[in-house]
Structure 1
Amino acid sequence: MKLNLKNPIAFFDLEATGTNISTDRIVEISIVKLHPDGSTETMTRRVNPGIPIPLEASLIHGIYDADLVGEPTFKEIARELLQFFGSADLAGFNVLKYDIPLLSEEFHRAGLELPLEKRNLLDAQKIFHLMEKRNLTSAYKFYCGKTLEDAHSAEADTKATMDVFIAQVERYLGEEAEDLQGNKLGAFENDMKKIHELVNSNMVDLAGRFVYNSDGQEIFNFGKHKGKTISQVLKEEPGYYDWMMRGDFPIDTKRKLTQVKLRGFQN
């Protein structure tokens, strides 16, 4: 199908030092510019972020500090990128929450602006979520081929969930499971312990405030210390423990935090 375009569309994706829009930096940008006549132009550039890349980020996108030695900073290629984007609409996957805000921050630090007012912003992830509903009624229809009657009745929802779960085990038996970063987690088996390990592979606390990194260490999954190990933060900023214990965090989260702290005293 040929898209009905009045303006070019610049599909783009970023790799970065992390996911914090304010503090993280771009390490690679790739743009595919689709023109109304159907032709495309591609630009892919590595970028020296000027800060170390955390190991957790490098393990996801495969770009390490040594790979960027001699590469230009974002400021050095900012005008070239602006020229390539031109007046094109912007598109990508999850660009509204991540890529566009991060790109705008980088241009701002370079003393330039990426004008957005007259562009169409096209997010494939938002279309995915809008058109492919992610609720129990949709799952029941998808996996079981049935319409859920009395939705939001506790008993009907519970029975439907059981049917969906059984259908999922049957459907995915033997298939390789991957996380959102594409890391292989293992084959889906008709074994509840194995399913638990697949679904909760990096879970530390129930609320998801802490997760395991690739080295099996508990790290923060929120706030200013996101990506840092709990033990490192408690060593460098002991008062953070007291702040969390006084804060409005779930009991389970506080319990896990205390366990890591006590383990540090034993080592």
Structure 2
Amino acid sequence: MAQLQLQRPIAFFDLETTGVDAAKDRIVEIAVIKLIPDGSRHSWVKRINPEMPIPAESSAIHGIYDADIADAPTFKDIAHELKQFLHNCDLGGYNSNKFDIPALAEAFLRVNIPVDFKTRKLVDVQQVFFKKEARTLSAAYSFYCNKDLINAHSAEADVIATIDVLEAQLDKYADLGKDVNALHDFTGGDDFVDYARRMVLKNGVPVFNFGKYKGQAVEDVFRKEPQYYDWMMNADFALHTKQMISEILNKMLLKNK
């Protein structure tokens, strides 16, 4: 079995949520398994009260209902404990770059706790799978591990399956490399400006990654259409997206003084 080469801990995690919109929906369960360079593992699993009703269609997927989390702590209650557990860890998951990391960052921002995941290496096991084979997590587990994924959409079961899949991928693909830096580069963790990836870096310059200005430099858009910034700040974008466009605008204004 191939071993992931670690310079520092990496925390693989999975979120179960009220829906699939990282900006609007709330976490109802989080599971983290932290891999330590000495080979040990530490787990942290919590049910969380989302402070909103869980839609029936979401409960049907992950099996968590309002009654199950009625007495659970809120995210604010556990946020500092979770931040400490993730301290100095790189981050990994399945579809984590596109959903779990943006949703987790949004949850921290809602309770006014700053986090900077850009200083971490990000390993999205789904991207390895999609670039090599293109399947779902259950199919990946079957394909790489020759097992059926029991309790899919239980956060802890999904995290365990994700780590198993990555270990099998390291065995199967010699060109992946065995360290977190190589996996981070392969899974495309460096090109985003905001966690929701509304903006990405192109030759080191933030450009929009959506809408009518897709591919255009953010500063150029704000210069020719300042009201676009106001529209974004008043629209239903993620808090981190709004934070980053504000930083870009402020830097732009300082340069023009």
- Conserved 8 A contact 2:12-2:91: yes
What letter matches 1:82 in structure 2? Answer: K
Q: How does 1:3-14 map to 2 (within 5 A)?
A: 3-14=4-15
For 2:98, the equivalent position in structure 1 comes to 97
Structure 1: 4+ residue segments shifted above 4 A: none
What letter matches 1:57 in structure 2? Answer: S
- Shift in Å, 1:101: 0.2
Q: How does 1:105-124 map to 2 (within 5 A)?
A: 105-124=106-125
Q: How does 1:26-41 map to 2 (within 5 A)?
A: 26-41=27-42
Q: Which secondary structure state, in structure 1, belongs to the residue aligned with residue 78 of structure 2?
A: helix
* Runs (5+) with no aligned partner, structure 2: 136-147, 155-257
For 1:195, the equivalent position in structure 2 comes to none
Q: Which secondary structure state, in structure 2, belongs to the residue aligned with residue 12 of structure 1?
A: strand
Once the two structures are superposed, residues 21-76 of structure 1 have per-residue CA deviations (whole angstroms, 9 ceiling, x without a partner) of: 11100000000000001100000000000000000000100000000111110011
For 1:83, the equivalent position in structure 2 comes to 84
- Shift in Å, 1:2: 2.0
For 2:69, the equivalent position in structure 1 comes to 68
2 CA distance for matches of 1:181 and 1:109?
25
**Structure (1 or 2) with the larger CA radius of gyration:** 1
Once the two structures are superposed, residues 139-192 of structure 1 have per-residue CA deviations (whole angstroms, 9 ceiling, x without a partner) of: xxxxxxxxxxxxxxxxxxxxxxxxxxxxxxxxxxxxx9xxx979xxxxxxxxxx
For 1:23, the equivalent position in structure 2 comes to 24
- Conserved 8 A contact 1:95-1:123: yes
2 CA distance for matches of 1:133 and 1:114?
31
- Shift in Å, 1:81: 0.2
For 1:2, the equivalent position in structure 2 comes to 3
2 CA distance for matches of 1:68 and 1:43?
17
* Runs (5+) with no aligned partner, structure 1: 135-175, 183-267
For 1:212, the equivalent position in structure 2 comes to none
Q: How does 1:134-213 map to 2 (within 5 A)?
A: none
- Shift in Å, 1:132: 2.4
Once the two structures are superposed, residues 173-216 of structure 1 have per-residue CA deviations (whole angstroms, 9 ceiling, x without a partner) of: xxx9xxx979xxxxxxxxxxxxxxxxxxxxxxxxxxxxxxxxxx
2 CA distance for matches of 1:47 and 1:74?
6
- Conserved 8 A contact 1:17-1:25: yes
CA shift in 2, pair 1:70/1:181, >3 Å: closer
For 1:225, the equivalent position in structure 2 comes to none
Q: Which secondary structure state, in structure 2, belongs to the residue aligned with residue 117 of structure 1?
A: helix
For 1:43, the equivalent position in structure 2 comes to 44
Q: Which secondary structure state, in structure 1, belongs to the residue aligned with residue 117 of structure 2?
A: coil
- Shift in Å, 1:133: 6.0
- Conserved 8 A contact 1:7-1:89: yes
What letter matches 2:129 in structure 1? Answer: F
What letter matches 1:104 in structure 2? Answer: A
Percent of residue pairs identical: 50
Once the two structures are superposed, residues 4-25 of structure 1 have per-residue CA deviations (whole angstroms, 9 ceiling, x without a partner) of: 1001010000000000111100
What letter matches 2:77 in structure 1? Answer: E
What letter matches 1:67 in structure 2? Answer: D
- Conserved 8 A contact 1:10-1:89: yes
- Shift in Å, 1:90: 0.4
- Shift in Å, 1:112: 0.6
Q: Which secondary structure state, in structure 2, belongs to the residue aligned with residue 7 of structure 1?
A: coil
CA shift in 2, pair 1:105/1:40, >3 Å: same
